[in-house]
Amino acid sequence: MSLVSYHLSEIVSRFGGHVEGDDSVAVNQVATLDHATSGQIAFLTNSKYRKQLESTHASAVIVAESDVDATTLPRIVCENPYSYFAKLSTFLNPLPAVKAGIHSSAVVGNGAKISPGAQIDEFVSIGEGAIIGSGSVIMAGCSIGANTAIGENTRLYPRVVVYHNCLVGNNVIIHSGVVIGADGFGFAMENNAWLKIPQIGRAIIGNDVEIGANTTIDRGALDNTVIEDGVKLDNLIQIAHNVRIGSHTVIAGCAGIAGSTTVGSYCQIGGSAGIVGHVNIADGVVISPFTMISKSLREKGTYSGMNPFSEKDKWMKNTAHLRHLDEMATRIKNLEKELEALNRRE
């Protein structure tokens, strides 16, 4: 693939910031300080890596105002070098152009409406009454259920499955192996056997969402499972039935969220974290990796916790004590001071 080069002056005219040094220098790709070569632009986001500026072979760098004097290389100076890098990398590495049309091997159900501007690749199955918006790309082996709607400029990588009656918004990226709208895990016990509870809700995915490979989002049991605008999900995440994820929340790999939980907007959930069902997580909450959340979090903050397992009743008692550990430590210190005072009197 041939790369197009852009002068630093052209880049800042598009993305902002200003150039220190020769603004006629041209770059065609982004890279790290360690591995950049001529024609590439690197970025510095942490001052502890300033030393790498001395040995980098990059043609230019992106820096914050605080690091403007750390190198004599041509440099773009901006407020947030990392987000600037992200925008520039997206610009220099565009997605493949949409090749509008329906492959001859695709199977399209009766009443399905596929925009002439959509790309439907080989062996795709599209159910009756489904809708595919303009600019969307449905790659090989995907299955779109009946009466499901896919918005505009959305990209489904190979072998994504979206069940019936689901909604997927605009500008969504869904990676391979994702399953949206499978039945939630709902069963009732009767006569020593489990009875399946039909899952009649939908899964609704908002705009500008990204869903990582092999993540699963179950449909609602009665109400809908909802992923709001701007949410970013990593690989191998489980979202259970009736969950609502607030806008612009990010969730790292292998996290699991049990049914009927509501997660607020702009939350950050670390890898392998777990959230039990029927709880509410406030906006802006940060949950550390491997943390188990067993009750609602009503206030913004960072929450962490990793306890070794034990017999359930003991674990619950110990966890209850741990929640008051700081208070208990303060009381013990006060008691020690009182005891010292009594000993001195004697």
Q: Provide the 10 A C-beta neighbour count for residue 230.
A: 18
Helix (H, G, I), strand (E, B) or coil at 340: helix
- Length of the chain equals 346
Q: Are 6-92 and 101-303 in the same CATH fold?
A: no
**Alpha-carbon gap, residue 157 to 8, rounded angstroms:** 34
Q: What is the pLDDT of residue 308?
A: 66
HEC string of 277-333 equals CCCEECCCCEECCCCEECCCECCCCEECCCCCCCCHHHHHHHHHHHHCHHHHHHHHH
Task: Tell me which CATH code domain 6-92 carries.
Answer: 3.40.1390.10
Residue with tokens 């693939």: 1
Domain spans, the chain:
6-92, 101-303, 312-345
Q: Which CATH architecture has domain 101-303?
A: 3 Solenoid (2.160)
- What does the angle CA 320 – CA 323 – CA 324 come to, to the nearest 5 degrees? 100
The most distant pair of C-alpha atoms in the chain lies apart, rounded to whole Å, by 97
Phi, psi of 317 (to 5 degrees): -65, -45
| pLDDT tens, residue by residue, 216-245 | 999 999 999 999 999 999 999 999 999 999
**Alpha-carbon gap, residue 114 to 80, rounded angstroms:** 40
Residue with tokens 């999900």: 233
Q: Please identify every stretch of the chain with a pLDDT value under 70, giving residue numbers as ranges.
A: 1-2, 308-309
Instruction: List active site positions.
Output: 241
**Alpha-carbon gap, residue 247 to 134, rounded angstroms:** 24
Q: Please state the pTM of the whole predicted model.
A: 0.89
| pLDDT tens, residue by residue, 250-298 | 999 999 999 999 999 999 999 999 999 999 999 999 999 999 999 999 9
State percent of the chain over pLDDT 70: 99
Tokens of 135: 């600019």
Handedness of CA 135, 136, 140, 146 (dihedral sign): negative
Q: What is the pLDDT of residue 104?
A: 98
Helix (H, G, I), strand (E, B) or coil at 344: helix
Cβ neighbours of residue 171 under 8 Å, at least 6 residues apart? 151, 152, 153, 154, 207, 208
